[in-house]
Structure 1
Amino acid sequence: MKVKADVCIVGGGPAGLVLALILGRRGVDAVVLEKHGSFLRDFRGDTVHPSTLQLMDELGLGEELAALPHRVVRQLQITYAGGTFRPVDFARLRATHPYVMMLPQWDFLELLATHGEFTLHRNAEVVSVNRSDRRVAGVTAMTPDGTLEVEAPLTVACDGRNSTVRRELGLRSKEYGAPIDILWFRLPREPGDPEGMAGRADEGRLFFGIDRGEYWQMGWVVLKGGDEQIRAAGLPAFRAALAESVPYLADRVAEIRDWDQVQTLTVRMDRLYRWHVPGALLIGDAAHAMSPVGGVGINLAIQDAVAAARVIVAAFERGRAPTQGELASVQRRRSLPTAGTQLIQRAFQRGVLAPALSGRPMRPPLPVRLLDRYPALGAIPARLIGVGLRPEHVA
């Protein structure tokens, strides 16, 4: 089957659907290809930050978003041997939404999908990029019904850090070493547990939990490649370490019955030297894989989408697809917040996470102690995480 569109969007994640939503409202015909049959997948980023909540208001979806099941986080706390510290305080933000909304990503994506004036093809896995006269002219995808070929003067890749479009185009990236990986798993949550986001650093182990209401989404931060050693030690040792480091979960660690319940996130951080070629633009993780530090990946990708939509809509209002120079302007605008955020993440990984995993008894790092001692300073990291270096807005 062959279809035509103004814009072919590869990837039905937050960036792809926000971009399609805006384009459709402005009369640009967009087709979205999502390789999965549904959005229901565990351990996807689902921290919706104040900047994204503001954008949802601007798109007229704020009230419906707030009606979805969610948890609100106003502070980030981390417990060391010397006590509990609260270095980040979103409540001090001068923002319409001075908090982070913890919302299952599949609910967020379904909301976007049901309000968009675009065509969404599920179970459509892109296998190749098509070219005409040295220009990207669309893609070919495999579906349960056979081959689907989308012909479009502009293709936007929003297909994540393992982007097929990125690989097919052979684009080079700057790689940044990430010293950590994360083991993800779930445990039930009880009424007497802490609320929000809570971390615990103890004897070379670093755990953090995301409050989902009925359960905890837990992460065990380990040094790069450390998951193999933990798995080799066996599940009893895993459960014992968790119970020792996070005492309020000790009565529930038996819920982890096999390794299938534990997934490893291999942390990667990179940034493409060039986000565009004639006929194609890459945004979000397809252009710059982010560390999970701060949970900023989704929000940065959505900001990319808003900036890209502004350029794409302006071009089609002139009766044509964006030029190479116009696509380059998206990268120029979004490079500063991307590079700046990655710089902050790398500093946090080196200065806070890596020392906590060294195996030596440690006191909280100086920045953590200062931010806790002078609460007003907590607005600074809250601004960097929750709003970002260059927030975008929908006209």
Structure 2
Amino acid sequence: MTERRDVAIVGGGAAGLLLGCLLAQRGIDVVVLERRASPSRSSRAIGIHPPGLRALDAAGVGAAVRAEGHRVRGGIALAGGRQLARLRFDDLIHTLPQHRTEALLRERLAALAPGALRQGTEATGVRAAADGVALETAEGRVDARWVVGADGVRSTVRELAGIGVRAHRGTGPYAMADGPDGTGARGIALLHLERDGIVESFPLPGGARRWVARLREPEPAMTAERLQAILAARLAEPPRLPSDAPASAFVARQRLATTFARGPIALIGDAAHEVSPIGGQGMSLGWLDALELDRAIAAAAGPDPFAAYAAARRRAALRAMRRAAWNMGMGAPVQPAGRAARLALARALGLPPARGALAAAFTMRGL
């Protein structure tokens, strides 16, 4: 069976769903193909930065996200339990588990274009067609004028389009888990700059908090008990994680596609850029890709319709990667002499005019 669509989006995660909503609002005939048969509920992105929230507003779900999310109005840097610096966010960051944000986007897409989301459908081939791209699936073929790869860091669309990936600076092992928030710092992100590595925590809806710790070495078999021991060794007042809290470990890395578009095929989100989650910019960055690609599709013409989109969003991704690499460097394990210099820098960054620039970076201005 062959069907014809204006746009076929491969990947029904946060970025692909948002782009699907934007296109459907303009009356574009769009289909979103998602390999997974059911949504993931794994512990993933939580941060929704101001530009990302504006993208959600454009897709018609911003109000729902505000209603469910937790507002983060600032951050405090500490060392040994003592405050080094404090930031206030004039533009609030919101936190909401990614599976809830994606659920709201799925509901919106279903209202705009019933049946547009095809779960359990995997793209297996991409080739040029007479008037666009032929996308092969196990169920048949989708002929589309434009194809968008929103299918994550192991993007099938990117690979089939012959687009390469290059590693960039910024890597490190981390562990994380969610638990009850007993810090008393409601609405505040806490950054503990300790010798053995940073411990970060972020408030979540429902009185919860996410804890993230930099590790010296990767520990794939992470448990709540092991993470509790790490936090207890570094913090004067460690949290009490539930023994059954799902703990996970990951190695943050940064990779960038060599181009974000090739002819009628474009990439957005993690398919285009794998940005370290330290700083939490990846999901919102993908939404900004979607906003720009929606505009590019509206004006698309000629043999290279997405060249301007690709150049602009690649520059933005590089800026985000530099910020994330800096964040990771500030949180890496350090020797005593280096730690003293790092703490002095943290204090200086908490003072004007650096404080304003740092707050702007954390809230994703300029991306």
TM-score under structure 1 length normalisation: 0.82
User: In structure 1, what is the Cα distance between the partners aligned to 2:171 and 2:179?
Assistant: 26
Q: 1:11-160 maps to which residues of 2 (within 5 A)?
A: 11-67=11-67, 69-81=68-80, 83-91=82-90, 98-116=91-109, 117-118=112-113, 119-126=116-123, 128-132=124-128, 137-142=133-138, 147-160=139-152
User: In structure 2, what is the Cα distance between the partners aligned to 1:151 and 1:277?
Assistant: 17
8 Å contact from structure 2 (residues 149, 155) kept in 1 = yes
The aligned counterpart of 2:6 is 6
Q: Which one of the candidate residues 323, 330, 339 is aligned to 1:344? A: 323
Q: Which one of the candidate residues 162, 169, 177 is aligned to 1:170? A: 162
1:49 aligned partner, one-letter code = H
The aligned counterpart of 2:331 is 353
Change (3 A) 1:180 1:169: same
8 Å contact from structure 1 (residues 5, 29) kept in 2 = yes
Q: Which one of the candidate residues 253, 271, 284 is aligned to 1:286? A: 271
8 Å contact from structure 1 (residues 14, 302) kept in 2 = yes
Alpha-carbon offset, residue 83 of structure 1: 1.8
Q: 1:204-353 maps to which residues of 2 (within 5 A)?
A: 204-212=196-204, 213-223=206-216, 225-227=217-219, 238-250=227-239, 252-253=240-241, 255-256=242-243, 261-315=246-300, 322-350=301-329, 352-353=330-331
Provide Cα deviations, 1:71-130, integer angstroms capped at 9, x if missing partner. 111112222127223454212xxxxxx20010122222222222233301112233x223
Alpha-carbon offset, residue 9 of structure 1: 0.3
2:72 aligned partner, one-letter code = V
Alpha-carbon offset, residue 235 of structure 1: 7.3
1:353 aligned partner, one-letter code = G
2:195 aligned partner, one-letter code = E
CA RMSD of aligned residues (A): 2.7
User: In structure 1, what is the Cα distance between the partners aligned to 2:305 and 2:344?
Assistant: 44
Provide Cα deviations, 1:302-332, integer angstroms capped at 9, x if missing partner. 11111111111223xxxxxx44422111112
8 Å contact from structure 1 (residues 276, 324) kept in 2 = no
8 Å contact from structure 1 (residues 270, 289) kept in 2 = yes
The aligned counterpart of 2:351 is 373
Query: Any idea what SS the aligned residue of 1:305 has?
Result: helix
Provide Cα deviations, 1:187-214, integer angstroms capped at 9, x if missing partner. 2233746543212232313221121233
8 Å contact from structure 1 (residues 90, 379) kept in 2 = no
Count of aligned residue pairs for this structure pair: 360
8 Å contact from structure 1 (residues 14, 298) kept in 2 = yes
Change (3 A) 1:83 1:157: same
User: In structure 2, what is the Cα distance between the partners aligned to 1:337 and 1:191?
Assistant: 35
8 Å contact from structure 2 (residues 22, 58) kept in 1 = no
8 Å contact from structure 1 (residues 70, 101) kept in 2 = yes
Provide Cα deviations, 1:274-307, integer angstroms capped at 9, x if missing partner. 2222331112211111111321111111111111
Provide Cα deviations, 1:17-54, integer angstroms capped at 9, x if missing partner. 22111111112111001222343422221211111223
Structure (1/2) with the larger strand percentage: 2
Q: For structure 2, which runs of at least 5 residues remain unmatched after alignment? A: none
8 Å contact from structure 1 (residues 136, 279) kept in 2 = yes
User: In structure 2, what is the Cα distance between the partners aligned to 1:44 and 1:240?
Assistant: 22
Provide Cα deviations, 1:240-288, integer angstroms capped at 9, x if missing partner. 33223234445x24x3359xx3222221211122222233111221111
Change (3 A) 1:217 1:324: farther
2:334 aligned partner, one-letter code = S
Alpha-carbon offset, residue 138 of structure 1: 3.5
Structure (1/2) with the larger helix percentage: 1
Q: For structure 1, which runs of at least 5 residues remain unmatched after alignment? A: 92-97, 316-321, 391-395
User: In structure 2, what is the Cα distance between the partners aligned to 1:82 and 1:235?
Assistant: 22
User: In structure 1, what is the Cα distance between the partners aligned to 2:165 and 2:207?
Assistant: 40
Change (3 A) 1:248 1:115: same
Query: Any idea what SS the aligned residue of 1:153 has?
Result: strand
User: In structure 2, what is the Cα distance between the partners aligned to 1:210 and 1:166?
Assistant: 33
User: In structure 1, what is the Cα distance between the partners aligned to 2:185 and 2:87?
Assistant: 20
Alpha-carbon offset, residue 155 of structure 1: 0.8
TM-score under structure 2 length normalisation: 0.87
Moved more, 201-210 or 41-50: 201-210
The aligned counterpart of 1:319 is none
8 Å contact from structure 1 (residues 181, 221) kept in 2 = yes
User: In structure 2, what is the Cα distance between the partners aligned to 1:235 and 1:339?
Assistant: 34
1:64 aligned partner, one-letter code = A
User: In structure 2, what is the Cα distance between the partners aligned to 1:79 and 1:293?
Assistant: 17
Percent same amino acid at aligned positions?
24
